[in-house]
């Protein structure tokens, strides 16, 4: 009788986990960037155009907006986005991420 046992190496498993984490962080960051832009109210378009996305490394991304009145918009000043920008965007990304995990 011939028995064969195949087990992945610890390094291979660790590499696969690291890649999965990196891919997930990248996807969530991109989704969040898209959602903050979508939730940003538009009058002249300046605030929406002000969003910037920068990758620092595989696990660090920066989403920023330097428009002077972005904080006020995020506090719900606009009738177009009375719940602000960031909180609804994060909630939407969380919903999308949960749906992806279930599939």
Give average pLDDT by consecutive 10-residue segment, the chain, 103 residues: 78 89 94 98 96 94 97 95 96 90 64
In a domain, 5, yes or no: no
89 burial class (0-12, 13-18, 19+ CB within 10 angstroms)? buried
Provide the domain count of the chain. 1
Domain extent at residue 57: 32-102
What pLDDT does 2 receive? 80
In a domain, 6, yes or no: no
CB neighbours (10 Å) of residue 52? 11
In a domain, 20, yes or no: no
- Alpha-carbon gap, residue 43 to 89, rounded angstroms: 19
- Alpha-carbon gap, residue 7 to 69, rounded angstroms: 56
57: its two tokens = 């490394």
What pLDDT does 63 receive? 97
DSSP SS3 for 61: strand
Place of tokens 């590499």: 15
In a domain, 7, yes or no: no
In a domain, 58, yes or no: yes
In a domain, 3, yes or no: no
In a domain, 21, yes or no: no
């Amino acid at each position: 009788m011939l028995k064969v046992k195949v087990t992945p190496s610890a390094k291979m498993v660790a590499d696969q986990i690291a890649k999965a984490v990196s891919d997930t962080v990248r996807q969530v960051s991109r989704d969040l960037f898209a959602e903050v832009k979508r939730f940003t109210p538009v009058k002249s378009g300046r605030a929406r155009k002000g969003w910037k996305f920068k990758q620092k490394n595989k696990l660090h991304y920066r989403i920023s907006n330097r428009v002077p009145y972005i904080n006020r918009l995020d506090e719900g000043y606009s009738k177009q986005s009375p719940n602000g920008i960031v909180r609804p965007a994060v909630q939407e990304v969380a919903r999308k991420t949960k749906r992806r995990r279930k599939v």
